[in-house]
């Protein structure tokens, strides 16, 4: 997703995801089950950023990455 605040994407590594579903429980509008029955990031703005960051922290496989470019980098680093 790209806007005047920069670009933010949520990425789930399919080689690490074990489909435990923690991310979907914590941030249900940002993650969903994909075609391979593994989680996929669908919308980094689906939930508030704290929920997305919590999903990243609580993923048991450390499979989620938040990729940012531009001004979004600084905004996120200030919230962590
Ligand atoms: S919490 Fe992590 S391991 Fe579990 S479904 Fe989400 S991305 Fe996959």
Rounded to two decimals, what is the model's pTM?
0.81
Q: Nearest C-alpha to atom 3 of ligand 1 is from which residue?
A: 17
Domains of the chain: 2-79 (3.30.70.20)
Angle, CA of 40, 42 and 79, to the nearest 5°: 100
User: Beta strand 39-41 with 31-33: parallel, antiparallel or unpaired?
Assistant: antiparallel
Q: Which of 56, 64, 66 to mutate to test the pocket of ligand 1 (most atoms within 8 A of CB)?
A: 64
**Protein residue with its CA nearest to atom 2 in ligand 1:** 59
pLDDT at 3: 47
In percent, the amount of the chain with pLDDT more than 70 equals 80
Q: What is the pLDDT of residue 33?
A: 96
Distance CA 36, CA 4 (A): 33
Q: How is the chain classified by DSSP, letter by letter?
A: -EETTEEEEEEE-TTT-----HHHHH-TTTEEE-TTSSEEE--TTSS-HHHHHHHHHH-TT--EEEEEETTHHHHHHHH-
pLDDT at position 77: 63
Ligand 1: atom nearest CA of 62 is 2
């Amino acid at each position: 997703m790209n806007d005047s605040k920069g670009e933010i994407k949520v990425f789930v590594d399919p080689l690490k995801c074990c489909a435990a579903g923690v991310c979907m429980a914590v941030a249900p509008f940002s993650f969903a089950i994909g075609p391979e029955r593994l989680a996929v990031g669908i919308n980094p703005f689906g939930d508030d950023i704290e929920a997305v960051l919590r999903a990243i922290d609580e993923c048991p496989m450390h499979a989620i990455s938040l990729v940012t470019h531009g001004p979004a980098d600084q905004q996120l680093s200030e919230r962590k």
